[in-house]
């Protein structure tokens, strides 16, 4: 039983570590990123600003009040010559004049300008938030690759540690045989060299996992323990060629926004009707011949219509601009969709290729395992030396590591595929 102390200790350490450490899934990382990344707070701030901006536009329908004041001196004023009637004198107003008035206007019809402005503001806010979401989504793919990089390093460490425990076991046996004079000391040196090489590989893999965890921490806002266990997603292939990424949604929103901008621009050429009122106090009042301070009031309806758009071709020009912008966005949308479809097909092909490679890996491991068992028996019987045994042992180790690599590459291709199409 003593011969199994290294394997036993390694397994004991491994399973106890699994119980003590935190377990992290790829979905956990996605969720943490969406909750904690600074860009998420930016999206929230953008969405909150929509309420205030829309209110600001809507209040253009409220009565608009303006207080005006004026004090002036003029070189001449209206006057009436002396009339040929005794005692009838009409005094000319003073050259210094004063006015204080409150103007109130109420919009009745604005050609749809306020309605179009509200839609444009809302769509612009949505576009801004979607752009930030697209930036966040791009980081998500980096997060995915870092996660699988850490997962691969983690699997390599586990396999290498198991192999290290096996080699230490064999070293104990050889040292015992050397003491008994059955084996030569150089066989121990061969095992020592192999143990050092595997320990170096373990150290390298642990650093790679640590670096992956550091990146995951930076984009998720979570503090992760170095011994955190990453879980292989084990996704089931679900292939779909429909691209529904934030970038493609952004282009669709931009197309809709061009229609809103067009409606806003042409509404500037429609007639505007408003009620207005003015109350004031000044010298003179409405009676310009009076030289007294008097109150006054004016009410009425105002029509404002810029007719230049009708003969300068504004409607036709705005429509042409809109159509050109839409054509540009459609061309870009087609290009972007095609690019993502190509990437999706590449990841799909990689996944299918890895699936076939894994099947051959399993068969290779089965054969290598049998060869190691045979080599172990021959080693114990003295038919082969430690060098021959380590050759077979390393071949099995390489096959196991490749199997882990291919399995993780398969799952990574499926995960990246989902991100590419926006699943």
**Whole-number Cα distances in Å, 399 to 158, 375, 390:** 14, 16, 14
Q: What percentage of the chain exceeds 70 in pLDDT?
A: 92
Indicate the pLDDT class of residue 7, thresholds 50, 70 and 90.
very low
Contacts 24+ apart (CB under 8 A), 126-131: 126/253, 127/250, 127/253, 127/254, 127/257, 128/46, 129/43, 129/46, 129/47, 130/246, 130/249, 130/250, 130/253, 131/250
Distance between CA 286 and CA 288 in Å, rounded?
6
Of the ranges 2-6, 76-80, 271-275, 305-309, the best mean pLDDT one: 271-275
Structure token pair of residue 377:
């028996």
pLDDT above 50: residue 153: yes
Indicate the pLDDT class of residue 20, thresholds 50, 70 and 90.
very low
pLDDT above 90: residue 67: yes
**For residue 18, what pLDDT is reported?**
44
Q: What percentage of the chain exceeds 90 in pLDDT?
A: 25
**Of 89 and 346, the one with more pLDDT:** 346
**For residue 324, what pLDDT is reported?**
92
Measured N-to-C along each axis, helices 314-380 and 386-421 cross at an angle, to the nearest 10 degrees, of 160
**For residue 84, what pLDDT is reported?**
65
pLDDT above 50: residue 5: no
Distance between CA 175 and CA 185 in Å, rounded?
8
Mean per-residue pLDDT for 92-118?
88
Indicate the pLDDT class of residue 242, thresholds 50, 70 and 90.
confident
Distance between CA 29 and CA 69 in Å, rounded?
63
Our measurement of the distance from residue 314's CA atom to the centroid of its chain's CA atoms, rounded to an integer in Å, reads: 39
pLDDT above 60: residue 334: yes
* Residue with the two structure tokens 């009838």: 88
Residues 344-391 have pLDDT tens digits of: 899 889 999 999 999 999 999 999 999 989 988 888 887 887 778 888
Max distance between CA atoms of the chain, in angstroms, equals: 156
Structure token pair of residue 263:
């409606």
Mean per-residue pLDDT for 302-325?
84
Indicate the pLDDT class of residue 9, thresholds 50, 70 and 90.
very low
Structure token pair of residue 39:
């860009």
pLDDT above 80: residue 12: no
Structure token pair of residue 410:
């398969």
DSSP class of residue 3 equals G
pLDDT above 50: residue 336: yes
Domain ranges of the chain: 2-36+113-270+313-421
Secondary structure (DSSP) of 180-249: TTSS-THHHHHHHHHHHHHHHHHHHHHHHHHHHHHHHHHHH-----TTPEEPP--PPP--------HHHH
Distance between CA 280 and CA 172 in Å, rounded?
108
pLDDT above 80: residue 313: no
**For residue 370, what pLDDT is reported?**
92
Distance between CA 110 and CA 64 in Å, rounded?
14
Structure token pair of residue 395:
């071949």
Around Cβ 231, how many Cβ atoms within 10 Å? 14
Q: What is the pTM of this model?
A: 0.73
Distance between CA 236 and CA 193 in Å, rounded?
42
Distance between CA 133 and CA 245 in Å, rounded?
10
Q: 186-207 in b/e burial notation, b at 16+ Cβ within 10 A?
A: ebbebbeebbeebeebbeebbe
Indicate the pLDDT class of residue 171, thresholds 50, 70 and 90.
confident
Of the ranges 51-55, 70-74, 76-80, the best mean pLDDT one: 70-74
Superfamily of domain 2-36+113-270+313-421: Outer membrane efflux proteins (OEP) (1.20.1600.10)
């Amino acid at each position: 039983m003593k011969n199994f102390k290294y394997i036993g200790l390694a397994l004991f350490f491994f399973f106890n570590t699994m119980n003590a450490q935190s377990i992290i899934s790829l979905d956990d990382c996605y969720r943490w990123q969406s909750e904690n990344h600074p860009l998420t707070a930016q999206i929230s701030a953008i969405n909150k600003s929509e309420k205030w901006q829309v209110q600001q536009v809507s209040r253009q329908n409220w009565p608009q009040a303006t207080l005006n004041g004026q004090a002036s001196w003029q070189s001449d004023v209206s006057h009436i010559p002396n009339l040929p009637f005794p005692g009838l004198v009409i005094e000319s107003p003073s050259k210094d004049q004063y006015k204080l008035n409150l103007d109130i206007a109420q919009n009745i019809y604005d050609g749809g300008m306020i309605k179009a402005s509200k839609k444009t503001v809302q769509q612009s806010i949505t576009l801004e938030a979607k752009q930030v979401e697209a930036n966040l989504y791009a980081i998500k793919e980096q997060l995915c690759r870092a996660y699988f990089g850490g997962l691969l390093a983690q699997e390599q460490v586990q396999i290498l540690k198991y192999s290290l425990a096996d080699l230490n076991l064999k070293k104990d046996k050889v040292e015992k045989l050397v003491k008994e004079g059955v084996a030569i000391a150089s066989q121990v040196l061969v095992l020592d060299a192999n143990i050092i090489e595997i320990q170096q590989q373990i150290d390298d893999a642990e650093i790679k996992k640590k670096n992956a965890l550091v990146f995951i921490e930076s984009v998720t806002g979570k503090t992760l323990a170095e011994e955190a266990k990453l879980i292989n997603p084990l996704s089931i292939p679900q292939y779909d060629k429909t691209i529904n990424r934030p970038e493609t949604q952004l282009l669709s929103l931009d197309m809709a926004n061009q229609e809103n901008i067009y409606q806003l621009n042409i509404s500037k050429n429609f007639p505007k009707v408003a009620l207005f009122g003015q109350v004031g106090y000044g010298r003179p009042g409405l009676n310009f011949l009076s030289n007294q301070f008097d109150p006054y009031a004016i009410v009425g309806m105002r029509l404002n219509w810029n007719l230049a758009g009708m003969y300068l071709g504004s409607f036709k020009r705005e429509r042409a601009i809109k159509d050109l912008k839409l054509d540009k966005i459609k061309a870009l949308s087609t290009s972007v969709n095609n690019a993502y479809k190509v990437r999706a097909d590449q990841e799909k092909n990689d996944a299918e290729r890895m699936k076939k490679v894994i099947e051959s890996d399993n068969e290779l491991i089965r054969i290598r395992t049998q060869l190691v068992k045979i080599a172990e028996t021959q080693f114990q019987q003295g038919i082969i030396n430690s060098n021959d045994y380590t050759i077979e042992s390393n071949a099995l180790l390489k096959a196991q590591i490749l199997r882990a690599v291919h399995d993780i590459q398969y799952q990574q291709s499926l995960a990246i595929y989902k991100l590419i199409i926006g699943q």
